[in-house]
Structure 1
Amino acid sequence: MASFVHRIEVHYTQDPRLKTRTDRIKTLGFPVDELHLAEVYTIATSARDFTRDELVQIGNQLINPVVQEFTVDEATKPLFDYAIEVGFLPGVTDNVGTTARQMIEDFFSMKFGDGEAVYSSQLYFVRGRLDAGALQGLAATLANPLVNRVLTKTRAEYGQAGMDRIVPYVELHELPTTETVDLDLDDAELARLGKEGIMDPRTHQRRGPLALDLTQLHAIRDYFRTLGRRPTDLELESLAQTWSEHCKHTIFASAMDDDVPNGLYKTYIQAATNEIRLEAGDKDICVSVFSDNSGAIVFDDEYIVTHKVETHNSPSALDPFGGALTGIVGVNRDTIGFGLGAKPCINIYGFCVGDPDTSVTLFRGKDASNPVLPPRQILDGVVRGVGVGGNCSGIPTPQGFCWFDNRYAGKPLVFAGTVGVMPRMQGGRKLHEKAAQAGDLIVMVGGRVGKDGIHGATFSSEVLDHKSPVTAVQIGDPITQKKFSDVIVKEARDLGLYRSITDNGAGGLSCSVAEMAKECNGCRVQLDAVPLKYHGMAPWEIWISESQERMTLAVPPEQLTAFMDLMGRREVEATVIGEFTDSGRCVVECGGKCVMDLELKFLHDGLPKKHLKTTFTRKTFPEPDAPCPDRLDTALLAMLKRRNLCSTEFISIQYDHTVQGGHVLGPVQGKGRVQGVASLTKVVPGSKKAVGLSQALFPSYSEIDPYRMAGAGIDTAIRGLVAMGIPPSGIAILDNFCWCSSDEPERLGQLKRAAQGCYDFAKVFGTPFISGKDSMFNDFSGFDAEGSPVKVSVPPTLLISSIGVHPDAGKSVSMDAKITGDLVYVIGETKEELGGSEYFAMLGGVGNEVPSLDAAAAKERYTRLAGAIGHGLVASAFPVSHGGLLVALAKVAIAGRHGLELTVPVPDGMRSDHYLFSESLGRFVVTIAPDHKRAFEQALGPDAVLLGRVAGSRLRITATTLLLDTDIRDLEKAYKAPFGGY
């Protein structure tokens, strides 16, 4: 425990964020006049004390002297009515505090010892008259009780002394021992063991979910009976991590009904890719698929690019900031861990949350305890988490989306993806290939191990309820990760200092070491060697903890000295924790005792096979009964204000999308700054090629027709890249299934049809799946305000991400209308398909006709359009998607701040509003210069329908009568209104 504690408070003389911060709190309903903020640094040491002069020097390093001042061991004294201090609970990762500590160590050329640290906190000064309830509510908005400590004082209580000096030091009193677990239980007790975890003999509390079902527990019991002994707690926990749905994807791997004996993954996802690659022959763009941490395609003759998209749903529900931050830095590590190490060069994101303007009264506890965080707090947290992860890592984040539906209020979906780049060859080695060898040393690099992240994998394989463990919450440290990322990818890899690498993600060391051990058939680990954040952790905790910023490498003994010297010079902690063997076993020792000794075959392949049964019932939903309006001006303005169609620029401007210098087409485009659906980034200096990225999901279609929902996602993700000029032949895709209640036959029936859709549409388009991830239990189980049980499930959600290499970024086109007089076309056919559409949702209905697609005809059309773009015939292109043709036309006009004068060919018998708001697939809005008319129409044939021209400052649309005539400025105002105050 620290003997010397000092407190430095940094505050603004003129706070540039005061108005924004205050306005945000006001919009939440708190009667606050002003909300000032001071940053607090608590310095706790025991071996040495800092003098007053040294503390002043430290304070001067922590401020911007132009706009900030600081106090040392004295209270900041602005005018205020209440003070609220928010810091981290003991053991929670404190990135700001860690960075401040490193700054002090560098400045004074010293090192903090064990138990010494710098802790950061935020001190809010509130001006305004708040009653006790409002003050408590404000404190709850500023903090998350799972990770934060909060201290509130009135001005009188604050007095001259100010806030208390708090050192959130971790003190553990557990003995580092290993227990054995009795599995000779009846089925009821076995089931409880699987659901709630092992009973701790000291605390008499369950440790948290193993997420093992009865069949799995029976298999484990039978295995240990053959060994004549009970499993240790570490062995049982290790099996639970390895066999978890999160890691093994048991639902996708299991036989299903009578027609899918090999499981959904092999039958539909993997089979589609294998068949596409076989048909492509020497034109196959794939390099590595499904076998590594990411998938990879050819970039050019010298480089490959990788892509992976992960989900971090359950942690983000508990701590949105930490969950999203951990998600993005975790998928960065998937890139670093691909092959022998790819350089992360692009980040992407996706957030599915409840309406941020609504409040949620859901509780994990029956007595209205442990409330679910409101959607706005979740949105704010996940946005900030991805931003901190990408910005602090120096990785551009140009691409992403938000989708709002109150069915995500119980459990949000948080997608995080990373693209990497690496040479194909180096020193005669193919860098995408790796393999540990017996005799190689197991080296862990990066952060230390703590209790944060325990049961993360098993927790994510379960329904979110009141037993969800706080230890599953993690907060990533991008600065630590940036250090080892650079030294691995830019130095150690090319020096040939290791043979294999992977990240410590789900399951921590238990999964990373055991997975790598398959490469050579064995491993032996010394847990005593693993560096810890604090003393007192039990062996099973060390083994399965998912504490962040760690990689595991296989280092040949002859390279160890050079490797460790390099890590030391780059200030990256690296520790030898064992060796790889060819014993066929995973052996773990601690305190001189063997605490785990399992056959790798049982650990990886002993999981019992399941045979799942499905049902599927086609549902009928209400059709809107509103009449067709004579004019659509009001309807369009209302559509542009819908959360799923409006601008989310407030997110884009928080993310650096130009770092690394490869920006071509970014998140917002045109003078009007409209959200694009795709981005284009150069990743190899000097190359004219660039990486295009797009994403699509249609959760509003899934309950109506999951097969067509999958097709819509694939088609739209592909069209996002085609609109920039990337041909379908250069595009690969990724799948992320986020399903609900996947132990119910009806939900599995929907899943099966969505997987069939993935196979059929990917095959026709010729776009292979190169990577994917599924999350099968996105449900919240808890209580409402009256204490009644309630279950909230997300809509079955499938995110399709696309990646493609643009042959010449200089010929790419953006979405905005460019020049007065340009011609405006719609490419593709519009049909009366509004089931699940945004227009029907606005009218209060759902509908039943989800868009269909002739994928073969669409592929031919896309190839011709990409060719026209490559030949310079196109000024702008934008895919028609959510909201239909009229919304797409409005966005093209807003982006260019140019009016459009158009005549639309509404078919006989179709309502004009249905025509203009239909979400039929396969369509684009394209503008071209008039002198390219003949060549363009020859290239596209009858698929190109001329609507009119770019003209004036109004969007004017006629059919047989005038349908709409609205000023572009009014459209832009409506489009940007919903999040204008963020």
Structure 2
Amino acid sequence: ASGVVAGIQDYGNKMGIPTVNGAIWYDPGYVANPLVFCGSVGLAPKGSNPHATTPGDHIIVLGGRTGRDGLRGATFSSMTMDAQTGEVSGASVQIGAPVVEKGLVDVLMLARDSELYNSITDCGAGGLSSAVGEMASECGGDVQLKKVLLKYPSLAPWEIWLSEAQERMVIAVPKKNLEALSALCIQYEVEMTDIGNFTDTGRMRVFHGANLVLDLDNEFLHHGIPQRHYSARINKPRFETGQTISIDDQTNNDFQNTLLKLLSHPNIASKERTIRDYDHEVQGGTVVKPLCGLRHDGPSDGSVIKPLASMTNHAFVLSNGLNPEYGKIDPYQMTWLTIDEAFRNAVACGADPSRIAILDNFCWGDPTRPEIMGDLVQSAQACLEAAVHYEAPFISGKDSFNNEYLGSDGKLHAIPPTLLISALGVMPDWQQSLTMDFKHAGSLIYLIGDFAPAFGGSHFNLVHPTQAIDEGLPVCSKANPRFYLAFYKAVQEKLVAACHDLSEGGLAVAAAEMCMAGRLGALLHLRNNEVPIRALFGETSGCFLVEVTAESQFEFEDLMSNYAIRLIGKVENHQNLQINQSKYPILSVPIADMLSAWKDRKIAGGLA
């Protein structure tokens, strides 16, 4: 993990790109097959991404040189991990050069604004074969591999063609613009190579010197390859969604210790040490940062960016949803819950829920195994249904299969079904941004949304494995999209002082995080008929804890009156989180103890 953190820090910081949102998740299933997700968002002038490759255009490669690093990178990333993995990984992983990338980006922005190219793509999986092949798919192309600049000699033609070395872009440039592009490259010290031309032959031809090493018809290459057919077996979960069991009131009633254990769990504990390695303020547009609160150490639900180039107050929100624990139980329901989590994290920051788009990143096992394919089919179906229900388009995505490893038992093991959902939301005015820290002693605390806590896939079960409560996953209420719209109206009316979603660890963890971030206490009240352990630590979807000033109480309640809303407590000036039932305290924890568990993973003087 430390290597991943160092790589993100080194590349992002040198490129001048803020790292503003993320998550770190630990599970034994990732030990031999760790996953790393990276995403980015940028602004471009309307109509500035041409795709009109024209016969006669020159095939220009800009940026880094080609080497064996990254060779077979795409296929390696989908290999089963075994004892030989370390021997091939070095050649399969690209060697990054952020300074080269920065110069490349600077040249491309100027070339874009001067309309010097007709189309553009990056050298990703498959290297030049994929980049040039895609650009030439509607016309044809001739490539001379001898012209490709190499990091070192002796690369075979297939290695040059397939290498996935980083920091390279391919653009289609009319002959009349070559001189202007060359001048830009010289100014920014970016290497530019003319490796051939796009043609009207309908064929992809590749030469190495005088030797023709590839000659394929585009129709066959892009449309003629036989398609695979898979078998899927749908696995029925042990428990139906929302199915719960009766819990004895005396079941694990050491609520204080449970809360501290949850706060110290690596999936919930503070990620400040990692976040501080990243520059999240470079470019000066980060409004809501990854850490917020009185001492800038509370866990933000998402991030708000105000583009400095914009002359308006418009901003956008980035958030994510991820929960592999749910995927182990029911990939279909996990998908609904993950999309909802990404959504409500964005809404909790002030995003307009009617203007949110989402992205998917699947990491799954071997799809040729029917049970794995069945889980994938279920998840993909849920993506469709949830996107339609939330009226949120999928605008991009990525997948990686065969994430399996050979265990010490000699058997193949797949990682947990893992789906990362990223959300991108629009905010008409950055000044309506919300953070999750309590702001004012005396403010009211509301629990809003359909509160139906369950223990299926919960972190309570992770910290109490011998007392795990086996149930179904939480229900994802179909009313959530309408509920988020109503809440957004309250945000627009400036009725909300703070907002935090309920996720891992449930109500108690959400309240603790708000107290720690604001360095203010809270007094909450459970209903007399609620089972304390379920209300405190069960997990639910579509719920927020919201701080509202006393002056805004009635207006807020009136706006939210058609949805589940409950005045559950008050922000206190003392440094303590106390939760009562029937007027008697059932949980009372000093903020100092919560911070010790959350930041240092220490409980009562020892390590958690």
The reply to whether TM is greater than 0.5 is yes
**Structure 1 residue aligned with 2:199:** 581
Which residue of 2 is the match for residue 873 of structure 1? 495
Gaps of 5+ in 2: none
Q: Is the 8 A contact 1:586 1:597 kept in 2?
A: yes
Q: Which one of the candidate residues 940, 956, 970 is aligned to 2:593? A: 970
Output aligned runs, 1:234-249, within 5 Å: none
User: Alpha-carbon deviations, 1:281-310, whole Å to 9, x = none?
Assistant: xxxxxxxxxxxxxxxxxxxxxxxxxxxxxx
Match of 2:135 among 488, 494, 516: 516
Native 8 Å contact 1:888 1:925 kept in 2: yes
Alpha-carbon contact 1:631-1:962 (below 8 Å) kept? no
Paired residue for 1:67?
Answer: none
Please tell me whether the aligned partners of residues 50 and 118 of structure 2 are also in contact (alpha carbons under 8 angstroms). Answer: no
Decide whether aligned partners of structure 1 residues 708 and 667 sit closer, same or farther in structure 2, where only a CA change above 3 A counts: same
Report the equivalent of 2:506.
884
2:63 aligns with: 446
Matched, 1:557 2:175: yes
- 1:222-281 superposed Cα distances (whole Å, 9 cap, x missing partner): xxxxxxxxxxxxxxxxxxxxxxxxxxxxxxxxxxxxxxxxxxxxxxxxxxxxxxxxxxxx
Contact kept? 1:667, 1:679, Cα under 8 Å: yes
**Structure 2 counterpart SS, 1:948:** strand
Q: Under a length normalisation based on structure 2, what TM-score does the superposition of the two structures give?
A: 0.94
Equivalent residue number for residue 931 of structure 1: 551
Task: State percent identity of aligned pairs.
Answer: 41
Q: Summarize deviations over 1:144-169 as a string: whole Å, max 9, x none.
A: xxxxxxxxxxxxxxxxxxxxxxxxxx
Q: CA RMSD in A?
A: 1.9
In the TM superposition, residue 536 of structure 1 has moved relative to its aligned partner by 1.0
Q: Are the equivalent residues in 1 in contact too, given 2:450–2:477 (CA < 8 A)?
A: no
Please give the residue correspondences for 1:346-425 in structure 2 after superposition, counting only pairs within 5 Å: 379-424=1-46
How big is each residue's C-alpha offset from its partner over 1:489-542, in whole Å with a ceiling of 9 and x where there is no partner?
A: 1x1111111111111111111110001102x41000001100111111111111
How far has the Cα of 1:847 moved from its partner? 2.1
Code of the aligned partner of 1:699: P
Of 721-730 and 678-687, more deviation after overlay is shown by: 678-687
Q: Which residue of 1 aligns with 2:571?
A: 950
Note if 1:481 corresponds to 2:101: yes
Conserved? CA contact 1:525–1:578, under 8 Å: yes
Amino acid at match of 2:494: G
Q: Distance in 2 between matches of 1:676 and 1:653?
A: 14
1:526 aligns with 2:155: no
Q: How far 1:628 moved relative to its partner?
A: 2.3
Q: 1:180 maps to which residue?
A: none
Separation (CA, whole Å) in 1 of partners of 2:569 and 2:235? 44
CA drift of 1:411 comes to 0.4
Alignment of 1:117-136 (within 5 A): none
Is the 8 Å Cα contact of residues 728 and 766 (structure 1) preserved in structure 2? no
Match of 1:752, SS state, is: helix
Q: 1:515 to 1:796 in 2, by over 3 A?
A: same
Give the C-alpha shift of residue 901 in structure 1. 1.1
Aligned residues, how many?
589
Contact 1:829/1:943 (8 A) holds in 2 = yes
Describe the shift of the 1:653–1:624 C-alpha distance in structure 2 as closer, same or farther (beyond 3 A): farther
**Structure 1 contact 823–928 (Cα < 8 Å) conserved:** yes
SS of residue paired to 1:588 = strand
Q: Normalising by structure 1, report the TM-score.
A: 0.59
C-alpha distance in 2 between matches for 1:939 and 1:846:
37
Structure 1: how far apart are the matches of 2:286 and 2:179?
40
CA distance in 2, matches of 1:689, 1:664: 12
Aligned partner of 1:606 in structure 2 is: 224
The higher radius of gyration belongs to 1
Going from structure 1 to structure 2, the CA distance change for 1:774 and 1:454 (only over 3 Å counts) comes to same
Cα distance change on mapping 1:524 and 1:624 into 2, 3 Å:
farther
- 2:256 aligned to 629, 633, 638, which one? 633
- The answer for the alignment partner of 1:122 in structure 2 is none
Q: Is the 8 A contact 2:319 2:423 kept in 1?
A: yes
- Which of 315, 319, 338 is the matching residue for 1:690? 315
SS of match in other structure, 2:329: coil
> After alignment, is 767-776 or 602-611 more displaced?
602-611
Q: Deviations over 1:756-778 (max 9, x none)?
A: 21112211111111001111111
Q: Secondary structure at the match of 1:694?
A: strand
Counterpart secondary structure, 2:270 = coil
Cα distance 1:459–1:478, how it changes in 2: closer, same or farther (>3 A)? same
The residue aligned with 2:213 is 595
Q: Which residue of 1 aligns with 2:475?
A: 852
Answer yes or no: is 1:541 the counterpart of 2:159.
yes
Residue 142 of structure 2 contacts residue 197 of structure 2 at CA under 8 Å; is this kept in 1? Answer: yes
2:300 pairs with one of 673, 676, 683? 676
2:274 counterpart SS class: helix
Counterpart CA distance in 2 for 1:675 and 1:607 is 48
Letter in 2 for 1:512: A
* Contact kept in structure 2, 1:624 and 1:846, CA below 8 Å: no
Structure 1 residue 870 displacement after superposition: 1.3
The residue type paired with residue 545 of structure 2 is V
Counterpart-to-counterpart distance in 2, 1:938 and 1:624: 35
1:619 deviates by 4.3
Asked if the contact 2:253–2:533 (Cα under 8 Å) also holds between the matched residues in 1, the reply is no
2:119 to 468, 490, 500: 500
Matched, 1:699 2:318: no
SS at match of 1:757: helix
Which position in structure 2 is the counterpart of 1:826? Answer: 447
Residue type at the aligned position of 1:822: S
The aligned amino acid for 1:449 is T
| 1:624–1:843 Cα contact (<8 Å) kept | no
1:197 match: none
Cα-to-partner distance string for 1:175-225 (whole Å, 9 max, x where unaligned) = xxxxxxxxxxxxxxxxxxxxxxxxxxxxxxxxxxxxxxxxxxxxxxxxxxx
Residue 597 of structure 1, CA deviation: 0.4
Report the alpha carbon displacement of residue 618 of structure 1 after superposing the two structures with TM.
2.3
- 2:290 corresponds to 1:667: yes
* Alignment partner of 1:723 is 2:348: yes
Distance 2:471 2:254 in 1: 25
Does 2:465 correspond to 1:807? no
- Which AA in structure 1 matches 2:414? S
1: CA distance, partners of 2:218 / 2:527: 65
Contact map agreement 1:408 1:793 (CA 8 A) in 2 = no
Deviation at 1:911, TM superposition (A): 2.2
Instruction: Give unpaired runs (5+ residues) of structure 1.
Output: 1-378, 425-429
Supply the AA of the counterpart residue of 1:582: D
Contact 1:713 1:800 in 2 (8 A): yes
Larger RCO, structure (CA 8 Å, separation 6 or more): 2
Give the superposition deviation at 1:588.
Answer: 0.5
Q: Does the 8 Å contact 2:284/2:308 carry over to 1?
A: no
Give, as a single letter, the amino acid of the residue that structure 2 aligns with 1:400.
G
The one-letter code sitting in structure 1 at the alignment partner of 2:72 is H
Q: Is the 8 A contact 2:348 2:499 kept in 1?
A: yes
Aligned to 1:294: none
1:623, distance to aligned residue in structure 2 (A): 8.8
Question: Deviation string for 1:2-36 (max 9, x for gaps)?
Answer: xxxxxxxxxxxxxxxxxxxxxxxxxxxxxxxxxxx
Tell me, yes or no, if the aligned pair for 1:725 and 1:867 is still in contact at 8 Å: no
Shift of 1:827: 0.7
Q: Is the 8 A contact 1:623 1:848 kept in 2?
A: yes
| Separation of aligned partners in 2, 1:631 and 1:533 | 62
Task: Tell whether the 8 Å contact from 1:836 to 1:846 is kept in structure 2 after alignment.
Answer: no
1:773 aligned to 2:398? Answer: yes
Aligned partners of 1:833 and 1:573: how far apart in 2?
A: 57
Hey, what does 2:368 align to over in structure 1? 743
Tell me what 1:897 maps to.
Answer: 519
Alpha-carbon distance change, 525 to 466 in structure 1, aligned in 2, over 3 angstroms: farther
Distance 2:330 2:503 in 1: 17
More off after superposition, 461-470 vs 507-516: 461-470
Q: Is the 8 A contact 1:523 1:578 kept in 2?
A: yes
1:920 matched to 2:540: yes
Deviation at 1:399, TM superposition (A): 0.5
Amino acid at match of 2:71: I
Amino acid at match of 1:485: V
